[in-house]
């Protein structure tokens, strides 16, 4: 039982409690309709910890080595899929007033998911190591998702003035939580991989867990923070022009056809020929008078 109350297990067990607080806050603020995927992500993470934590600590060695790999694969796939879907949900919330950009963003996110899967397969197939191919693919997809989360935060910071959002905006807080955890995990992974023993695997695991705890606290703070809803018109003018231009590119107005013009010309010509012709005035030569 002493190992169960280790620092890593305490951090791991506290995650469902904080995530439950975030779900409760979103439900109490009536935000579950605005962020349903984010709530699904939190509920999935809670269920994963509830299943994996007791299995990791109390399962026998034979059962552990037989089922742990499949459970870890399934949990990782569900977590990565929902985390990427949450990014799309944040994007849709930020670009809610801009319909053309929302449509383009949906297409880009679908292609991004396909590219990440292909990158994972290619990396797993081209890497020569004793690690199974599925694990290598999951690691590659995980890195792609973390880069996408970092990119979302950088995008919101760079275009906040054009989109009319502030740092108090709730979508910005959700992206900030994901971005903080993604940045920490990528840095820890780089240090653990290239640091020549500077960071042990157990220390890297605890660093990732601690950073995820901070991310959950960020989400909890933004759930209770009053998020500005109104967006000033002056800050949206340039973005509205972008959206209007993109709409014109996506839905070009059809060019004027020459056929209706020719038809109208023929109809006018037929109408003129069918109308009764006016009698032309006679210009007879007058007869000379009798002299």
List Cβ neighbours of 247 (8 Å cut-off, separation of 6 or more). Answer: 99, 100
Return d(Cα 81, Cα 232) in angstroms, integer: 34
pLDDT tens readout for residues 71-130: 888 898 899 889 989 988 888 887 776 666 667 667 777 777 777 777 767 766 666 566
Return d(Cα 236, Cα 164) in angstroms, integer: 6
For residue 236, the Cα-to-chain-centroid distance in whole angstroms is 21
Question: Would you kindly state where each structural domain of the chain is located, as residue ranges?
Answer: 7-243
Return d(Cα 257, Cα 251) in angstroms, integer: 17
The model's confidence at residue 48, banded by pLDDT at 50, 70 and 90, is very high
pLDDT tens readout for residues 202-230: 888 889 999 999 999 999 999 888 766 55
% of the chain residues with pLDDT over 70: 66
Return d(Cα 64, Cα 275) in angstroms, integer: 97
Mean pLDDT of the chain: 76
**What is the token pair recorded at 150?**
């970092």
């Amino acid at each position: 039982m002493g190992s169960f109350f280790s620092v890593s297990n305490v951090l791991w067990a506290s995650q469902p409690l904080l995530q439950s607080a975030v779900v409760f806050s979103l439900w109490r603020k009536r935000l579950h309709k605005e962020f349903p995927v984010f709530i699904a992500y939190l509920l999935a993470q809670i269920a994963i910890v509830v299943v994996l934590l007791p299995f990791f600590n109390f399962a026998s060695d034979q059962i552990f080595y037989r089922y742990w790999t499949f459970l870890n694969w399934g949990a990782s796939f569900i977590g990565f899929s929902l985390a990427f879907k949450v990014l799309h949900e944040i994007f849709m919330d930020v670009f809610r007033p801009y319909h053309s950009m929302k449509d383009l963003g949906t297409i880009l996110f679908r292609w991004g998911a396909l590219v990440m899967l292909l990158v994972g397969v290619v990396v797993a197939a081209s890497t020569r190591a004793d690690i199974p191919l599925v694990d290598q693919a999951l690691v590659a997809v995980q890195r792609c998702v973390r880069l996408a989360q970092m990119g979302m935060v950088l995008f919101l910071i760079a275009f906040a003035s054009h989109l009319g959002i502030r740092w108090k905006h709730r979508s910005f807080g959700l992206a900030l939580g994901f971005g903080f955890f993604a940045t920490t995990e990528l840095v820890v992974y780089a240090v653990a991989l290239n640091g020549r023993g500077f960071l042990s695997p157990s220390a890297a695991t605890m660093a990732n867990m601690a950073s995820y705890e901070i991310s959950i606290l960020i989400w909890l703070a933004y759930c209770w923070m009053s998020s500005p809803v109104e967006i000033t018109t002056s800050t949206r003018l340039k973005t509205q022009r972008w959206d209007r231009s993109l709409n014109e590119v996506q839905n070009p107005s059809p060019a004027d056809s020459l056929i209706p013009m020719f038809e109208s010309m023929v109809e006018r010509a037929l109408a003129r020929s069918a109308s009764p012709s006016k009698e032309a005035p006679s210009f007879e030569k007058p007869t000379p008078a009798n002299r």
